[in-house]
Amino acid sequence: MERPEPELIRQSWRAVSRSPLEHGTVLFARLFALEPDLLPLFQYNCRQFSSPEDCLSSPEFLDHIRKVMLVIDAAVTNVEDLSSLEEYLASLGRKHRAVGVKLSSFSTVGESLLYMLEKCLGPAFTPATRAAWSQLYGAVVQAMSRGWDSE
């Protein structure tokens, strides 16, 4: 990534990271609205959620949201050296593959991430900021998709 994109990402993330659970919930609510078939992938203690709201309010899922936001935070922190996260992200990809996530769903996750950023940042979510985040997310997905390539 060239300058000033890393700074756009860091600057916008500072606003989001003040309330990670709130903004992560926006991300997942949007994800379930766009791709409801993902809801059954989230089961805790053999409990199937009856609705996205049921899932989004469960303590176990709130923990998942926190973890997702921490992964995004790690990507932001290492935006200029994402290669340092390659193995971790490939391992995360393997975990997602193991629970039935399809690579194609990452496109919907990306749309949901951009939606959450736009809702959080409002007018500060400029086309340049959108492009920088799209580039970062693309790099993260590329690394995670290695988890589908390896056995």
Detail the residues annotated as belonging to a binding site: 64, 96
Q: What is the DSSP string of 94-148?
A: HHHHHTT--TTHHHHHHHHHHHHHHHHHGGG--HHHHHHHHHHHHHHHHHHHHHH
| H or E, element range at 44 | strand 43-44
| CA angle, residues 110, 94, 81, in degrees to nearest 5 | 60
48: left (phi over 0), alpha (psi -120 to 50) or beta: beta
Q: Which residues are annotated as a binding site for heme b?
A: 64, 96
The residues, ordered by sequence, that sit 6+ positions from 4 with a Cβ below 8 Å of its Cβ are none
Strand partners, 47: 44
Strand partners, 43: 48
The residues, ordered by sequence, that sit 6+ positions from 126 with a Cβ below 8 Å of its Cβ are 8
